[in-house]
Amino acid sequence: MKTKMATVTWWLMLVSLLTTMEAEERDTQVVPVRCCPRSDSEMPEQPTTPEVLPKVLAGVVTSTSLRAKKVLLENIYALRKYNVSWVALLYDGDDGSALDDVRALALSEDVPFRAYDARPSASLECPFCPKFQFHATLVRFARNFDYVILPDADISFRHFDWEGFWAAHRFAGAPLISQPLIRQNTQHTDYFVNSEQWELCPTKGERTMNPVRSVTTNLIENQIPFLDTSFFAYFAEETRGFTAYQQEHGTDWGQDRIWCLIAAVFADRFPGETENRSSCAIIFEAIDHEDHREIQKSEAFNRAGKKALRLVEKILSGLDSDSARRLNMTDLAAHTAQRLRHPYEDTVARVRRCLRQDDMLLA
């Protein structure tokens, strides 16, 4: 009876949110960030469940808009049976009280949840703060978890096969960082993370002799990365200089170019922790992207992003040693300069190899 009442309560709240959202303007404006102190209180203790699945900390950079609350509520409910704790990293100035209703309903399902203003400084202002500046505040919570996932606020888990993802993840060698495919095919085709780009590859089904459940890659998007906890803490420390650069220039572009490269460095430096594990992979389970478009991508925003991309490419190619030293990326540049190719080259080759496996389908 308790479970039935809790379910009714969840859906009544969703109906209420949807009704209220009808009056909301279609294009929500992002509130400029004025960064303030973060909370130092600890996460609620992670409950134990019998499933042999990893303990996961989900950190979502989000506003308190009704649309964002709706997706957050749906996601918490969709994964309520699993070892997932949730943190809402707020950027719109709210201290978390605007999500008290979400917190109450999460706790009714014994799902650990907290929300706080994740902006890092009261005196610092930026036109657009990089997401990882907020994500890095999760490091102090992450030590009791196996993985950290960083979904955008418009990523929906309602139809996501959580157990199927982790089964494929293990099959892929438990990569240090990975991501699912995007069902709506909204991403740039160079990233090779759209479902339609892999639809001819043999994946699931009785007609498949050798199913393809994942593909190694050297590029992971910022949209929905799954990270090993130890690697997450390492990445946060190693990229403090680059995150500060992003903060200064109002962009989060460039990070997708270095996820996998830093994972490779991590694997080389800590072979005991990473033995028999892959660095980066795209997992063939699709997730939904609702594409709220809350970030207004102005000409200035795109210009700053392209500048960051050029900087990363120069550093990794060994052409800008001064910036590498200033951003604490010298070791990364030295590690990758001799083997760096076009960031999509490996993935392109694997796409073609996968498509050639089409003749493995049984008649």
pTM of the entire predicted model = 0.80
pLDDT digits (tens, 9 = 90+) for 90-142: 987 788 899 999 999 899 999 999 999 887 665 555 557 788 889 999 999 99
Asked if residue 340 lies in contact with residue 317, where contact means CB atoms within 8 angstroms, the answer is yes
Of 348 and 171, the one with more pLDDT: 171
Residues 330, 315: Cα–Cα separation, whole Å? 8
pLDDT at 58 over 90: yes
Range of lowest pLDDT (133-147, 258-272, 303-317, 328-342):
328-342
- Residue 362: its pLDDT value, please? 28
Query: What is the band of 317 on the pLDDT scale with cuts at 50, 70, 90?
Result: confident
pLDDT at 195 over 70: yes
Joined tokens for residue 26? 């279609």
Asked if residue 96 lies in contact with residue 104, where contact means CB atoms within 8 angstroms, the answer is no
**CB neighbour list of residue 25: distance below 8 Å, 6 or more residues apart:** none
Range of lowest pLDDT (50-59, 96-105, 209-218, 282-291):
209-218
Domain ranges of the chain: 31-38+48-293+300-360
DSSP one-letter string for 73-142: HHHHHHTTTSSEEEEEEE-SS--SGGGHHHHHHHHHTT--EEEEE--S-SS-EESS--HHHHHGGGHHHH
- Residue 278: its pLDDT value, please? 87
pLDDT at 146 over 80: yes
**CB neighbour list of residue 316: distance below 8 Å, 6 or more residues apart:** 257, 258, 261, 332, 333, 336, 337, 340
C-alpha radius of gyration, the chain, whole number = 21
- Residue 13: its pLDDT value, please? 62
Question: How many other CB atoms are found less than 10 A from the CB of residue 312?
Answer: 26
Average pLDDT of the segment spanning 142-146: 94
Joined tokens for residue 120? 């890092």
Of 105 and 350, the one with more pLDDT: 105
Query: What is the band of 84 on the pLDDT scale with cuts at 50, 70, 90?
Result: very high
Residues 349, 213: Cα–Cα separation, whole Å? 16
To which residue do tokens 């999460």 refer?
Answer: 106
- CA 357 vs. chain centroid, Å, equals 30
Average pLDDT of the segment spanning 245-264: 87
Of 55 and 94, the one with more pLDDT: 55
Fold for 31-38+48-293+300-360, please state it: Spore Coat Polysaccharide Biosynthesis Protein SpsA; Chain A (3.90.550)
Residues 219, 61: Cα–Cα separation, whole Å? 21
